[in-house]
Amino acid sequence: MVPVIEAKDLVKTFRKTFHAVDGVSLTLERGKFYAVMGHSGSGKTTLLQILGLLDDASSGSILVNGKDVSHLKEKEKAQIRRDTIGFVFQAYYLNPKLKAYENVMLPMYVNPKMAKGLKERAKELLTQLGLEERTDHYPKQMSGGEQQRVAIARALANDPDCIFADEPTGNLDEENERLVFDALKRLSQSGKCVLVVSHNEAVREYADSLLLMEKGKLKEADGREA
């Protein structure tokens, strides 16, 4: 099976000399939970943004479902992001004036493949994440953990191949971080590719592949290059 994302020799350079990402190659497959850990400033968020086509590498290539996307125009990259990758961030970025199901519906409005049944799909996704009693609630009426699960449901709205999560438990207590990691793990077990960038040591027990980022370089937990 063709990997969802295959990166080769990625480099991201700032100020001509600082390599935030330094020669990273990585293959991401469906049905696996990948965790990238590292100190603040190690380059892990920059790597996630490059893999998610939110930022461009200075050099190297990225294949998405076997297609080289490195030199595509921004509009074409946006369509690939829409169809292939769902994003979850430390801040939930929910619209405070919209109910939970309405927040989940937002990505579907820009996807012609999701022309009908948007409300029903949004509520179904929230139910799958244990929020069936919160579908009509506004963000301020929900806990941090519930808001983050709404954000996960929103990331799933367009049925992407991958879920990329950047410090998804950074604002949560221990109980809610477990609920969020459990939800992400179930997604990988259902066939999604899940990539989590985190400082949280708890992510280790969920990862099928644990990767460590240091000074822009990526290694497997046993010290081998990824």
pLDDT, tens only, 103-158:
999 999 989 888 789 999 999 999 999 999 999 999 999 999 999 999 999 999 99
Q: For helices 118-128 and 144-155, give the axis angle rounded to 10 degrees.
A: 130
Burial status of residue 104 (CB atoms within 10 A of its CB: 0-12, 13-18, 19 or more): buried
pLDDT for 223 equals 55
Q: What band does 63 get if pLDDT is binned at 50, 70 and 90?
A: very high
What percent of the chain clears pLDDT 70, i.e. is strictly above it?
98
Q: What is the mean pLDDT of residues 47-76?
A: 95
At 57, which amino acid appears?
A: A
- Could you give the angle at which helices 174-189 and 144-155 cross, rounded to 10 degrees? 20
Is the pLDDT at 180 greater than 60? The verdict is yes
pLDDT per residue over 5-46, tens digit each?
A: 999 999 999 988 889 999 999 999 999 999 999 998 899 999
Q: Using CB atoms within 10 A of its CB, is residue 46 exposed (0-12), middle (13-18) or buried (19+)?
A: buried
Confidence (pLDDT) at 225: 59
* 195, 163 Cβ separation under 8 angstroms: yes
**What residue type is assigned to position 24 of the chain?**
V
d(CA 127, CA 118): 14
